Amino acid sequence: MLGGLATVGIVTVILAVPLGLFVSWPVSLFAVTGALAVGVAARMSRTAVAILGSVVATIAIVAMGTDSYVQYGTTQFWAAPALIHNCGMTVKPYGLATGLGNGDGPAYQHVGTTPAGDFVYGISGCGGGGLYFVGAGGKLIVYRVSP
């Protein structure tokens, strides 16, 4: 059972860090589902599986709230972020955009994912000038350095 939980933990970290999903709903769902599957495969009692799933789900929710607060200035990990902290800058919502440009400007890349699963676009590295976009709820929200 410990080997199975370790495997779930390693795959969760791989999803979160190298693939850029960070602490988000898909990663948390994988962790909880994986832990439950390991419990069932180890023939644990229903009560023990429920406790295991509850513990992993609680850890996932606390991790999402903490990550959301540190990176985005709010524990409301289900909503578009109130702030984005990156490269020593804090950017706030500015308005809505219709797209990421027509190719004349800088190349915006996927630089992060909010805990709600929204993609954060910006210029890779710290020289991007503090302009970010978040795709949330079918809208593209513009974030910029606050005056």
Read off the pLDDT of residues 64-80 as tens digits, 9 standing for 90 and up.
Answer: 777 777 777 777 767 77
User: Which of 50, 72, 94 is a domain's end point?
Assistant: 72
Q: State the average pLDDT for the chain.
A: 74
Q: Which residue in 59, 23, 55 sits closest to 39, CA to CA?
A: 55
Sheet containing strand 89-97, edge to edge, reads 84-86, 89-97, 139-145, 132-136, 119-122, 109-113
Expressed as residue numbers, the domain containing 34 is 2-72
Residues in contact with 147: Cβ distance below 8 Å, sequence separation at least 6, in sequence order: none
Residue 46 reports pLDDT greater than 80: yes
pTM: 0.58
Same domain? For 12 and 66 the reply is yes
User: Which of 11, 38, 72 is a domain's end point?
Assistant: 72
pLDDT for the residue numbered 99: 64
Residue with tokens 């589902």: 33
pLDDT: which is higher, 35 or 128: 35
Confidence class for position 18, pLDDT limits 50, 70, 90: low
* Residue 27 one-letter amino acid: V
Strand, coil or helix: 94: strand
Q: Total domain count for the chain?
A: 2
pLDDT for the residue numbered 102: 57
Residue 135 reports pLDDT greater than 70: yes
Give the β-pairing of 119-122 and 89-97. unpaired
User: Which of 72, 97, 112 is a domain's end point?
Assistant: 72
The 8-class DSSP code of residue 116 comes to T
